Amino acid sequence: MLNNVFGIDLGTSTICIYNHDKKSFFHEKNMIAIDKRAGVIAYGDSAYEMYEKAPDNIKVTYPLSNGVIADIHNMQTLLKLFITDVSGGSFKNATYYIAIPTDVTEVEKRAFYDLIEESNLKARKIFVVDKAVADAIGLGIDVKNSQGVMIVDVGFNTTEISIISLGGIVISKMIKSGGMRFDDAIRNAVKKEYRLYIGAKSAEKIKMDLEMLKEQHSPATVYGRDVASGLPMERSVDTKLIDGALQEYFDVIIDNVKVILERTPPELSADIYKNGLYLTGGGSLVSDLGLQLARGTGLKVNLAEEAGKSVIQGIAEIIRNKRFRSVAYTIEGMGK
């Protein structure tokens, strides 16, 4: 019988945890706030609240960068805090299922496993699942019987483009594009055009409101600091400027999807052509990306109902449904 089982999707911006005993899902910002003297003063969403607002003695950071664990020590601290929160402290001898990216080095993959092993969680067993396979299951695809499934997961720092067949990865490529790059593009465009510095949170808000603003034919209102005077300022920003700034980043994603399609074995291409590609990850919600991917590739684009949650929903399904259990594997004993 399963007991004390947790599923983890360790994203660069969001950590998602599934607690199988309680059948509950948990989503928080994967962030930590550390005071030079007092140590950890906030984590998760409350650390994000301090982001870009904290004084110099408080460091607010993401321990993951480009989809891999960059700051092992802080990630271990965070994971222990999050698992303690979701389990109410009873996590001894638990089994973990964690999603890992495919197109990273063996050492980087191993780091996800080691993270759990070394976080003082006293894990009984650790399984890993390829992120794209978890995505597909979370999107309701019967991966074990499907040949040729294309998943495009646009996250925060990364976009993973993968072809899956019969429950395994055929090709996977990770590119450094995603929601954070879109925010940076917006910040740079506003700075260049309006000579206004805006924060990452303001840029993200414009990005999230973009679809609605375009429908209403209204500009975005932003608050920031004037480059020349250094004073706080409010400006109206034309949505066309935002669309233009994002275009370059969309093109990189579309071009890379085409490259993967060109490398896909023809028998699998036929299925992808029939079913279309699957677009997921929080970053994929940005206005027009789905439309442009459809135009650029000539494929139908299936949009995730809950983009950003498909990996954890897939892991939950793997834990719940024995049929999918074989897509999870252990990397114990793998050489470092």
Ligand X SMILES: Nc1ncnc2c1ncn2[C@@H]1O[C@H](COP(=O)(O)OP(=O)(O)OP(=O)(O)O)[C@@H](O)[C@H]1O
Contacts of 122 (CB under 8 A, 6+ apart): 91, 92, 93, 94
Stretch 133-192 residues interacting with ligand X (CB under 6 A): 155-158, 178-180
Binding letters toward Mg ion, positions 150-179, x by CB under 5 A: -----x------------------------
Within the chain, where are the H helices?
A: 45-50, 72-87, 106-117, 131-138, 179-194, 200-215, 239-263, 266-275, 289-297, 310-320
Q: Shortest distance, CB of residue 43 to ligand X, whole angstroms?
A: 15
The CB-nearest residue to ligand X is 179
Q: Which is nearer to Mg ion, 75 or 213 (CB)?
A: 75
Compute the 3-state secondary structure of the chain and give helix, strand, coil in percent, each to the nearest 5.
40, 30, 30
Identify what 108 binds: Mg ion, ligand X, none; CB under 5 to 8 Å per kind.
none
- Stretch binding Mg ion (CB under 5 A), from 11-19, 41-49, 68-76, 317-325: 11-19
CA dist list (Å): 156 to 29, 143, 198, 308, 320 = 11, 25, 19, 10, 28
- CA–CA gap between residue 139 and residue 12 (Å, rounded): 21
- Residue among 272 and 285 whose Cβ is closer to ligand X: 285
Backbone phi, then psi, for 30, in 5-degree steps?
A: -85, 70
- Cβ-based nearer residue to ligand X, 233 or 309: 309
Which of 164, 128, 163 has the alpha carbon at shortest distance from 143?
164
Q: Which does 207 bind (CB under 5 to 8 A by kind): ligand X, Mg ion, none?
A: ligand X
- Residue 281 is a binding residue for ligand X (CB under 6 A): yes
Interface with Mg ion: number of residues (CB under 5 A)? 2
Q: Which is nearer to ligand X, 152 or 272 (CB)?
A: 152
CA neighbor of 149 nearest in space, from 159, 183, 134: 134
**Contact with ligand X (CB under 6 A): which of 109, 110, 187, 207?**
207
Which positions touch Mg ion (CB under 5 A)?
11, 155
Which positions touch ligand X (CB under 6 A)?
11-14, 67, 155-158, 178-180, 204, 207-208, 281-283, 285-286, 308
